[in-house]
Amino acid sequence: MSPQAPKGAGQEGTGPWGCPCSALLLMVNVAGQRLWHRLPELSALPSAPGTACTLLLLFVCILAAPPWPLALSPLCNSQLPQTVGVTGHYFPSLSGCDSGFGQATARHLDIMGFRVFASVLDLQSPGAQELRQSCSSRLTLLQMDLTKTEDIQRVLQHIQAHTNSTGLWGLVNNAGFNDTIADAELSPLGKFRTCMEVNFFGSLELTKGLLPLLRSAGGRIVTVSSPAGDMPFPCLAAYGASKAALSLVMDTFRSELQPWGIKVSLILPGYYKTGKRQQLLASLPQELLQAYGEDYVEEINQQFIQFMKVAVEDLSAVVNSITEGLLAANPAVRYYPGQGLGIMYFIHRYLPYFVRDLFLKGFFINPKLPRALRREHHKDVKKA
């Protein structure tokens, strides 16, 4: 089967809403409805960032069949690279990691006829077994824990041994670990560190390790980040901070690697069902528990559960964006797969901060007042 280029290429400069003129009017109208009339469907749109879940961390290594004519359109099959590698990482302490964007992308690229290297935490996991059964012999599974340098180095050596003669065409970082939904004050410091280790440092180490091969091929880097790294979603401080760092360093790579012919793209998906969150009550210090209250934390959990019910299950939009970033002759700098992201970014960029905060709370999570503030409020009411 000959590889085929993806359809519906996104264009740099049009932003997350496609046509900037007509969509701008549409977003102003919808934003006004949601902010001022507080329509019930505000929190029912399947368009939040993919957070509070464990997404498969992967990198896609497309081995170039040199010479690769970067200036030519990928719509011609003869101009596409002949081999592809995809490597994913499943964070060991979480469930649901042998599914998601990484597995779907590996399967998609295998169907397209590329050679795929897919790394998993456990070679005997159900996700690994599913890839073995559904993919061709072109797919190779590799074991890797992204938090362990020795695992990363072993995978890098394996890829280098198989790509030295061809160069490395593509690298896709898709880090997305976050298992806690809570205010920044309530989130344990260890959660911030874990998010940075998985979502930022792991992707950075992989990218730096593969840059010599990417330079030799003039290849691609595609990184799945999140809108939570661009705007302050409530209760996502740890995740958002790690994604903000990831987006910034990849944008820096984009600028610095241009002379080498390497093109760098970011994927900022809407909200997709790929994982679960963790309860906080057992780990909260007593002082914080008294100030905020058990009902405050439980309310956040319940709101997130309700939000999960409208999350998108079809991952094809993200997979197509990743594929386009790897294969399009002129990939976009940013892709926004998912519904509703145009409204978010319009409000974030053009409306006052208080409007943005109201929108994000109404759209995602809007917790009640903490217990201590409720007591003060009752006192003020009685005095009045």
- Sequence letter at residue 369: L
336 catalytic residue (yes or no)? no
H helix intervals, the chain: 20-36, 101-111, 126-134, 149-163, 189-195, 202-217, 237-256, 286-292, 294-308, 316-327, 341-350, 353-363, 371-383
Catalytic residue among 239, 271, 292, 336: 239
Pairing mode of beta strands 170-173, 263-267? unpaired
Cα separation, 358 vs 297, whole angstroms: 20
Calculate the dihedral angle through the C-alpha atoms of 263, 176, 18, 86, rounding to the nearest 10 degrees.
Answer: 50
Cβ within 8 Å of residue 119, ≥6 positions away: 58, 87, 88, 89, 141, 142, 143, 144, 155
What is the rounded radius of gyration, in angstroms, for the C-alpha atoms of the chain? 22
Cα separation, 56 vs 155, whole angstroms: 16
| Residues listed for the chain | 384
CA distances in angstroms from 378 to 293, 370, 371, 384, listed in the order given:
16, 12, 11, 10
| Residues assigned a catalytic role | 239
